[in-house]
Amino acid sequence: MTNASEDRGYLLGDGVFDTLVAFNGKPVEGERHLARLIAQAAEIGITVDEAEIRNDWQEVLFGAADMVTCILRTTITRGRSGRGLWPSTASAPTRSVSATPWKPDLARNAVSLVTSSVRRNESAPTSRLKSLSYLDNILAAREATERGADDALLLNTKGAVACATIANVFALNGTRLATPPLSDGVLAGTMRALVMELAPTVGLTVEERTLSPAGFADADLRFVTNSVRFLRPVSSLDGRRWPPALPTVFVALRRAVATRVLEATGYRLVWD
């Protein structure tokens, strides 16, 4: 096993990671997650063997057979190298996969947000990577906790809405659904992609467009998405609160996601 003190992931945050949910031993949207992980590793110059990742997942899921529902975390680093920011030589990449229990409450609860003072640098390559360098998000999450919120809303350097610390964001107005484009400093979330795919099946028109903070706050409904918590409505933003009633079309969208999960894994998501 690689000594952590010699690994570039530990020393420099030189790597990428992925987090997904597995139900009944089957990863939810596993192909999307795998494709993104391999592509993002390649983007920073790390070659990953798809078959090895699949084998790692199966070994860990087999070992976690007592967990019907679990969160699967995959970490890829550049491995060991000599000193210097860009290594002249490096060892084989380091792979790590772990499983922890998933609880239904992670998906059921609405989320309260505050706008963070931390800004998302939309011009930085890392804004569109699930990299190990997550310190900006961590500091924004700390700020949210200190202000009594569940998560923080991040604006980019131009003042537009980008994302939450661990989620993509959507604004719903009638039957029009909007989410910020990747060029605004947004990670290409796998649940974001699934929502955009399924939205038209419930009568929604989807567009990627820049969202102002006021436009986001004044939407009929604001919600956040990620692979562990699925679709969660925003209950408050900077102290402004909204009633818990959910638009019918949002309920239908959640059910469409639940149907996809049920068909793929045999597990029934329940929000009501």
Q: Tally helices (H) and strands (E) across the chain.
A: 8, 13
On whether the CB atoms of residues 237 and 153 are closer than 8 A, the answer is yes
What are the tens digits of pLDDT across the range 60-106?
Answer: 999 988 899 999 999 999 988 877 788 767 678 999 999 999 999 99
pLDDT category at 195 given cuts 50, 70, 90 is very high
For residues 221, 170, 151 and 64, what is the CA-based torsion angle, rounded to 10 degrees? 110
Q: Which two tokens stand for residue 197?
A: 């795919």
**Which pLDDT score, from 0 to 100, does residue 17 have?**
97
Q: Strands 230-237 and 240-241, how do they pair?
A: antiparallel
- At 124 the pLDDT is 94
**Cα(183)–Cα(122) distance, integer angstroms:** 6
What does the pLDDT look like over 214-269, one tens digit per residue? 999 999 999 999 999 999 999 999 999 999 999 999 999 999 999 999 999 999 99
Quickly state the pLDDT bin for 1 (edges 50, 70, 90): very low
Q: Which domains does the chain have, with CATH numbers?
A: 4-102 (3.30.470.10), 107-265 (3.20.10.10)
Identify the helix (H) or strand (E) that includes residue 161: strand 161-164
Round to whole Å and give the CA distance between 180 and 58: 34
Cβ-contact 269, 230 below 8 angstroms = yes
Q: Give the pair of three-digit tokens for residue 69.
A: 């529902």
Look-up: residue for tokens 């029934």?
268
Rounded to whole angstroms, how far apart are CA atoms 176 and 94?
43
Query: Quick check: pTM over 0.85?
Result: yes
Report the distance separating Cα 7 and Cα 216, nearest Å: 41
pLDDT tens figures, 126-138? 999 999 989 999 9
9: tokens are 């992931």
CA angle (18, 23, 25) in 5-degree steps: 85
